[in-house]
Structure 1
Amino acid sequence: MIKLSKRLQTIADYVKRGARVADIGSDHALLPTYLVQSGVCPSAIAGELNAGPFRAAKKQVADAGLQALITVRQGNGLAVVMPGETDTVTIAGMGGNLMSTILEEGYAAGKLDGVTELVLQPNVGEDDVRIWLLEKGWYLSHESILEEDGKIYEVLHAVSRDVQPSASSNETLYEGSFLKLPYDKEVLHRVLLRMGPHLLRQGSPVLTAKWRSEIGKLERIIAQMSASEGTESTLKAEQFRKEISIIEEVLQCLRTEIPSSN
């Protein structure tokens, strides 16, 4: 059986046993190969747009002797999937904006009909994905954050309204009252979308490290802007300072209010 990276293993661990899975942007098809080899999934689709990874995925599946159980298809996003063909969709290793576009186009084309589970790992722009899930009525059931080879990744696990029918529970997830901060509901809502409601409730050194790094990036941008005398740059720098202040206060809240899970 193939061995997955820590990132891919975290994704695999979320996939429901017995689900027919479609891995979009599958690259070398490592994830679907593992899921079928390990008996988690009875079948899988590996979708890949680019010719090189598509050929690598076909070779991976052939080398594993799983051509009868894993279909490798070349195409853009969820175009490789037929409606009702899969129970779980996994997408990993791309920006949140692109991931949301793939999900939206698939949703509009009916490709998510019958899908009850999404496991998503955006490299950046996680808030874009959370916003899409919230707007489309998907329930964000779990989140993980991990560090591997010097990079930090977030994995989001969402289930459909058929599995989690209570819309109010989704709204409550993002209401943020557990953060004892002097902000209105709208600001707290934005904080949870950006930083992750489950991740903030759990707290972890990796989460803190991620947002300390983000503060450092914002400070460097502000320093670069200080050389400019334009009004727009001044306003943008002030916006970034407010953003830093909010992140700092959230991190302080995590230390004082939320016990670490580690």
Structure 2
Amino acid sequence: MIPLNQRLKKVSTYIQGDCLADIGSDHAYLPIYAVENNLIDTAIAGEVIKGPFDASVRNVRDYQLSNSIDVRLGDGLSVIKADDHITSVSICGMGGPLIAKILTEGASKLKDQPRLILQSNIQSGAIREQLVKLNYTICAEDILEEKGHIYEILVADYNEKSVAMTEKEVKFGPKLLENKTALFYKKWERERAALIKIKDNLDSDMHKTRLAEINKHINLINEVI
């Protein structure tokens, strides 16, 4: 059995259906784990760079899963084909704006309305904004810490009637706001401290726009924590 870190194990608990497309697959660890544990029948491991692509091919072959996992080289969701019938898409280990960009550019590949499981390292708000535009509604969110880094996991299902989010829900997460854990507070206290540090180093005359933006973010954090 392939070992999997805590972050990807949590992601795996949200996979649904028979076929997973894991974008930016990082050695195909998640697809291999999901197939080995009977979470799915088949998977696509997408890689945009040749080195990671070759590593994923080797791993799939070493675990004797070449009949179940198809490793493909391509940018973002472009690796998904019309007849794949994907039921879950995972995009993990990237910044929120990059994940949002992948979803935007690959929107036509979501015709089967798969579940989206998105794990961002920073700026998850960009993802939430894009999900609304794609008629996806967040059904679950998780926050976890691993090796000193705090990560957010967003899980969204297709909804014909797009559900709008408030400014606070976009920034902090609608589900995370409903259940503020100790880690939630830790993340945003850390974020507030970083913003205050930046603010203290800005000139009030030269950086008025930036200061106003920072003060707005600090005030939002203060309201939530």
Q: For 1:63 and 1:102, locate their aligned partners in 2 and report how far apart those are by CA, in whole Å.
A: 29
1:204 CA drift (Å): 0.2
CA RMSD of aligned residues (A): 1.4
* Identical counterparts, % of pairs: 37
Q: For 1:84 and 1:139, locate their aligned partners in 2 and report how far apart those are by CA, in whole Å.
A: 25
Corresponding residue for 1:26? 25
* Structure with the bigger percentage of strand: 2
Corresponding residue for 1:42? 41
TM-score by length of 1: 0.82
**Which residue identity is paired with 1:250?**
V
Number of equivalences: 224
Instruction: Pick closer, same or farther for the CA change 1:146–1:217 going to 2, 3 Å.
Output: same
Q: For 1:115 and 1:136, locate their aligned partners in 2 and report how far apart those are by CA, in whole Å.
A: 10
Give deviations 1:142-179, integer Å, cap 9, x for gaps.
00000111000000001112xxx5x27x23xx3xxxxx
Moved over 4 A (4+): none
The alignment status of 1:230 with 2:205, answered yes or no, reads yes
Q: For 2:177 and 2:57, locate their aligned partners in 1 and report how far apart those are by CA, in whole Å.
A: 40
1:115 CA drift (Å): 3.1
Matches within 5 A, 1:1-262: 1-16=1-16, 18-85=17-84, 86-107=86-107, 110-161=108-159, 165=160, 167=161, 170-171=163-164, 174=165, 189-225=166-202, 228=203, 230-231=205-206, 233-251=207-225
1:43 CA drift (Å): 0.2
1:235 CA drift (Å): 3.8
**Which residue identity is paired with 1:2?**
I
Give deviations 1:227-260, integer Å, cap 9, x for gaps.
x3534x1342243223212211211xxxxxxxxx
Instruction: Pick closer, same or farther for the CA change 1:11–1:190 going to 2, 3 Å.
Output: same
- Unpaired segments ≥5 residues, structure 2: none
Instruction: Pick closer, same or farther for the CA change 1:242–1:114 going to 2, 3 Å.
Output: closer
Q: For 2:66 and 2:216, locate their aligned partners in 1 and report how far apart those are by CA, in whole Å.
A: 54
1:105 CA drift (Å): 1.3
Task: State whether residues 115 and 156 of structure 2, in contact with CA within 8 Å, keep that contact through their aligned partners in structure 1.
Answer: yes
Q: For 1:193 and 1:84, locate their aligned partners in 2 and report how far apart those are by CA, in whole Å.
A: 33
Task: State whether residues 33 and 61 of structure 1, in contact with CA within 8 Å, keep that contact through their aligned partners in structure 2.
Answer: yes
TM-score by length of 2: 0.95
Instruction: Pick closer, same or farther for the CA change 1:100–1:84 going to 2, 3 Å.
Output: farther
